Chains A and B, each alone.
Chain A
């Protein structure tokens, strides 16, 4: 379980978190929604260990896989080399890593891109290479920071399907930041709305339907209303 207790984080005078608690069960996909600047990405960066914070975060000691808003591929390395660069030090068995990379590329439909440089890839291809890199990380925790933010609708939809497929094949504890309710409904087991100053949980809701059958979420309208009300109440604070 990923457990966050009594998190405190400040940027100069501003307290972003002050005694913030959150739990994410093993294998659960948690989606964070909230206004820009409320602290969603800061929370991911605390979990990733990229920010200095006070408090207790457990469950990410082995490191985390991270899917950023941009692919963040090293331009001088090929697609495969990018994956190897980011994760090879975490694998004892190099042949197992090779097999894992092959499997990830095949599953994402980018088998033919292994030797291609990022400069020669489309946005969607680069996003899938970044996804392959994240899934080749041996950690049980995957963080996603608006991974669909800069993609067009078609690429976004296909990437949602790929992530759903990858999670079915290799379940992870996921914390995802998003601005799109639709993506949250497609992937999340739990949706949490953050807001306020300092940041707190404004609302949360769970989605019981299996990920493969999210077309028919029984109380989708009720959940959408709950999320929108929480977001709007925070906006009018």
Chain B
């Protein structure tokens, strides 16, 4: 077998693994639904997808998807920008790192439900998911970025200090490029968390035009197939986000040829 054919087979096999996993989940679902025999508790695969396609024919579904994606992205972008700013400041000034550490630890430990309950009191239903997303995602991203900043070679930092390289240039030409692969990994691992937290907050805040409210209404009308339909939509959105981050990671790897020898 030629090298090109081997490569093609390998690529085909690596695509088959996730398809196999998906087929296994669907089979398990179908068996469970057949065993339970009650559409209200566990709807069949067919009923769920019929419900899903019906939902996709409704304009409100797209408004809900758009609203949730926008809120999740806004909360995530704010958390990423803040985490990046605080992590870089902490990396540049050791006393700031020590000052930020207890705040980050507290934010990591605060239960999400506490944040949701307090945000329900403080903010409107449209802003509340943003606050909850930010408060949940920020400490996770901050910890990941602090670890990334700590991994920047101390000898390079010393070189930049001896050459008196201005802080702005150090941040953009030394810290950020060296941190880039870990930033991408941090983004990848927190994106799915972001979507989950945003939807949970939307359910409790009853935010207009949101997947959360769509799920809650479906639950109120005992439309289990539609709840699962929304779940499938959330999973697809998560997968799309994952694909996007993978593409960005590939570009970052191409742009920054990182080698241990420096």
Contact = CB atoms under 8 A, between A and B. Distances in A.
Interface of A: 48-50, 63-66, 68, 70-77, 81, 85-87, 89-90, 117-120, 123, 126, 137
Nearest to A90: B164
B204 interface: no
Contacts of A119: 257-259, 261
A74 B176 CA distance: 11
A66 B258 contact: no
B174 A75 contact: no
Contact of B259 (A68, A87, A117): A117
Contact of A70 (B162, B166, B262): B262
Interface of B: 155-156, 158-166, 169, 173-174, 177-178, 180, 255-259, 261-262
B176 to A, nearest CB: 9
B257 A117 contact: yes
Nearest to A84: B173
25 contacts: A49-B162, A50-B158, A50-B161, A65-B163, A66-B163, A68-B159, A70-B155, A74-B173, A75-B177, A75-B178, A75-B257, A75-B258, A75-B262, A76-B177, A76-B180, A76-B258, A85-B165, A85-B174, A86-B159, A86-B160, A89-B164, A117-B257, A119-B257, A119-B259, A120-B259
Contact of B169 (A50, A68, A85): A85
A54 to B, nearest CB: 20
A115 to B, nearest CB: 12
A120 B256 CA distance: 12
A22 B211 CA distance: 73
* Residue from A63, A85, A123 with most neighbouring chain B CB atoms (10 Å): A85
Contact of B261 (A68, A74, A126, A137): A126
Contacts of A120: 257, 259
Nearest to B163: A86
A85 B258 contact: no
B257 A64 contact: no
A126 B257 CA distance: 15
* Residue from A73, A86, A87, A126 with most neighbouring chain B CB atoms (10 Å): A86
Sort A-B residue pairs by CB-CB distance and give the 7 closest, nearest first. A119-B259, A76-B177, A76-B256, A117-B257, A86-B163, A72-B159, A119-B257
B173 A68 contact: no
Contacts of B262: 70-75, 118
B156 A72 contact: yes
A66 B173 CA distance: 19
Contacts of B164: 63, 89-90
B164 to A, nearest CB: 5
A14 B71 CA distance: 58
Contacts of A85: 160, 165, 169, 173-174
B258 to A, nearest CB: 5
A89 B156 CA distance: 17
A72 B261 CA distance: 8
Given A73-B262, A74-B173, A117-B259, 4 more contacts: A76-B177, A77-B173, A118-B261, A120-B259
A76 B256 CA distance: 5
A74 B178 contact: yes
Contacts of A66: 159, 162-163
B162 A75 contact: no
A176 B206 CA distance: 70
Contacts of A65: 163
Given A50-B158, A119-B257, A119-B258, A86 B165 contact: yes
A230 to B, nearest CB: 29
Contacts of A89: 164-166, 169
Nearest to B158: A50
Nearest to B176: A76
Contact of A74 (B156, B166, B180, B255): B156
A232 to B, nearest CB: 32
Contacts of A76: 173, 177-178, 180, 255-258
A123 B262 CA distance: 10
A85 B172 CA distance: 10
A64 B178 CA distance: 25
A48 B162 contact: yes
